[in-house]
Copies of this chain bind each other. A is one copy, B any other.
């Protein structure tokens, strides 16, 4: 109801604000008997972590996750998995400039409108820091759905765009550079652009692409919970996301049906894959691929004009350690949300037949 839960059979509820005592969540519905590899969780947390490279925010958040329940002798028990990430770097900051004024294109104004007041410290509940809990849950979901693999990468930063489709790229290269673009040359251009933007105290948008392989057939439901509708919901729930497309996406609208239809091979696979691995809302076993558009983040290290709570115009000096471009860190979040969707759909699919 209040929108802090995601999923049906495999369900995550999160809590926590940017500068509260801690963040965490409960994973409910993870089946019993999964051996949990903590290393894989730490790896994904590291991919999302601030300070991991020169082109992301230099905040220090160690993001140590502690598990309190639901795992016994290394295996999930079927009971809810409660976890907590203590906030350790949130001490004596001065937020008075935010407390009294509304930062443009942030959630400051809308929170006040909805709730009457807000925890203004670092964006409170609307901070992208909340996604740390999604990455924890996603890393467990990934282990549950194995051998399904989920691979995200950066395909666009500003105007710098990776033109090749995913199946002409060596996606294993994505983690070899700080931008997480699998094409080294394009990655360099992207990195250069991000550095330039950061120097100006400005920010820039980008696109995260994602590919899901080894998908079982039959995931998703035919009407309101089409697999791609759940994926779209998941992606659009990530901070700063403005758009989602899968398969042929927005470009597909220019095609004719005779060119867009995916002809079958005799084994049920298709010769092309404009469908993006989903037909009628249900996976057909082909690769699922999609794009997620991220706007330039709103936090600038510049001075800007805005209003305070009384509507008076004020000038504010942006400060702190923020991301000039979120997409390199967002890759891990996109993957985590995709893993939650697939894990959920895979469990629900057990209910389809008598």
Contacts and interface: CB of A to CB of B under 8 A. Distances in A.
A294 B158 CA distance: 26
Contact of A203 (B6, B116, B256): B256
A16 B205 CA distance: 41
A312 B265 CA distance: 9
Contacts of A312: 266
B226 A237 contact: yes
10 contacts: A2-B225, A3-B220, A34-B354, A104-B262, A125-B223, A205-B252, A232-B232, A233-B236, A243-B246, A264-B306
A259 B304 CA distance: 12
A62 interface: no
Given A4-B224, A306-B264, A275 B105 contact: yes
Interface string A253-267: 111111011111111
Given A243-B250, A263-B306, A300 B257 contact: yes
Contact of A223 (B3, B82, B305): B3
A227 to B, nearest CB: 9
A76 to B, nearest CB: 8
Given A125-B222, A353-B32, A81 B300 contact: no
Contacts of A267: 311
A5 interface: yes
Contact of A297 (B70, B222, B257): B257
Contacts of A220: 3
A77 B217 contact: no
Q: Which 6 A-B pairs have the closest CB atoms?
A: A107-B280, A3-B225, A3-B221, A243-B245, A15-B82, A205-B253
